[in-house]
A = this chain, B = another copy of it.
């Protein structure tokens, strides 16, 4: 149950109510309490204190359409996605920051093709300790340089909570990786960060769990959350993962959060990225996360799935044509 407290409620009163009702408390335009969804009726004290009460079916509460029918707007610099914008944001860059030369080439590709957000990881969630683990803080500093030099926005990933504060400091959009989707410490830090958050779905996670992970951020007081579908693990092994566009449609239908698609990690092979990007755009998603590399064959991670720059230029052009036909605007 979600309870909007009257604007006259003091913080002290709100805290008492939160504790009495085992509710999470945060401040939006007013104080908001969220109890377990098992609570279906407000007691007298809550009814007295409340401006608005929403009973929810499951613990998809703040993210659900029944609470808020309109899609949330994510504000980044002077532009936004979601809400009524009909924007689809393109995000591109390499899997990992590898060197200044490499990330600068990627930044220049963004500038050339009109892409506003540069992506690259600095803390890589590799499954083996014996492979390249990312440049860490040095990577973040290189991304910061690119932001200043080219006026780009930066999205980069938190792998675990040991470096969450640094990533939150340097990123314009904080990415929570698929393998960290259940990490409450990371999610709670994002909830307090005030920065837009792109939350990736764990590849073994249900849609219910995925949206509930977003609830950790939303109930921390941060309403700037995007959901990113990036492929789930199934029995099929010819492709790296299985892009769940049925799931993306479900998210559009049942939640109020913008939906981003990452086709690169889903299929795991460059040959399929263009087709899947066009399909995702035609589905009406709010953003696309596409891996590119100046020289994919030599990439230190995810070599097979990154587009080279010419492939990306061609894809960008076809997406622009398609967006126009769909009444959407590619930004």
Contact = CB atoms under 8 A, between A and B. Distances in A.
Contacts of A206: 235-238
Interface string A230-244: 011111111101111
A36 interface: yes
Interface residues of A, number: 77
B130 A36 contact: yes
Given A125-B184, A236-B232, A325-B321, A130 B242 contact: no
Interface in A104-153: 125, 127-131, 133
A266 B242 CA distance: 13
Interface of A: 23-24, 34-37, 59, 61, 125, 127-131, 133, 159-162, 179-180, 182-186, 202-209, 212-213, 215-216, 219, 231-239, 241-247, 249-250, 252-253, 266-267, 271-272, 275-276, 278-284, 321-322, 324-326
A202 B179 CA distance: 10
A59 B132 CA distance: 13
Nearest to A179: B182
Contacts of A204: 202-205, 233, 235
Given A130-B219, A246-B272, 8 more contacts: A159-B184, A232-B242, A233-B235, A252-B275, A275-B282, A278-B282, A282-B282, A282-B322
A94 B284 CA distance: 27
